[in-house]
A and B are shown apart, each in its own frame.
Chain A
Amino acid sequence: QKEVEQDPGPLSVPEGAIVSLNCTYSNSAFQYFMWYRQYSRKGPELLMYTYSSGNKEDGRFTAQVDKSSKYISLFIRDSQPSDSATYLCAMRRNSGNTPLVFGKGTRLSVIA
């Protein structure tokens, strides 16, 4: 079983839709959770950062962490064509210098 699983998509939605992106993980020691957005031929951009469980909202984006289910989500409200990108989840244990573990990314297309 991979440490982090993420559906690669592609996911295609109409403009204005609510988008739900998800990752599951197997290591209960993960404490730091991040979502990145990566446009084609660009470096990943940090969108959301959450420590432990709970929700975090930033504009049209909401990140949720459910540690009991080992499941994290990113919701995008009122999706726009500019949201078309690959979204990567990432997480890290709460100890020392352990590197981030990434999902493989979900490719999202928002159609105008």
Chain B
Amino acid sequence: SQTIHQWPATLVQPVGSPLSLECTVEGTSNPNLYWYRQAAGRGLQLLFYSVGIGQISSEVPQNLSASRPQDRQFILSSKKLLLSDSGFYLCAWRAPSNEQFFGPGTRLTVL
């Protein structure tokens, strides 16, 4: 069966510090992968998606970036965090059947 992992689970970072969040998927190959942000009281905002290694589509211009160095690994990064980057970051993968499954999320607080 397929499993999606995210780490860390929680993170507290100062403004201006770098960020690296990791997502890995097990039990499938060449999945479509997604990064979402969910801010308090707001809906899910799609940040990036990837259909393959090295292929990244950005949905929202911002100080975040994404990379896909391996087939089942998706990384969300920032060089300098802003207060507005605080939120709940979710990774997801899309099955060939078109169902989409989410990871457990990373709660980021920027102080």
Q: Which A residues have a C-beta under 8 Å from some C-beta of B?
A: 32, 34, 36, 41-46, 49, 51, 88, 90, 92, 97, 99-100, 102-105
Contacts and interface: CB of A to CB of B under 8 A. Distances in A.
B25 to A, nearest CB: 13
Interface in B15-65: 32, 34, 42-44, 46, 49, 51, 59
A97 B51 contact: yes
B94 to A, nearest CB: 8
Given A99-B34, A99-B59, A92 B99 contact: no
A36 B42 CA distance: 16
Place the interface of chain B in its size category: 20 to 34
B7 interface: no
B100 A90 contact: yes
Contact of A41 (B32, B44, B46, B107): B107
B28 to A, nearest CB: 15
Given A41-B107, A99-B34, A46 B43 contact: no
A46 B101 CA distance: 7
Nearest to A32: B98
Contacts of B34: 99
Interface of B: 32, 34, 42-44, 46, 49, 51, 59, 88, 90, 97-105, 107
A104 B100 CA distance: 17
A88 B100 CA distance: 13
Contact of B100 (A42, A46, A51): A46
Contacts of A99: 34, 46, 49, 59
5 contacts: A42-B104, A43-B103, A44-B102, A46-B99, A99-B49
Given A41-B107, A97-B49, A102 B44 contact: yes
Contacts of B42: 104
Given A43-B90, A99-B49, A102-B44, A49 B99 contact: yes
Contacts of A49: 97-99
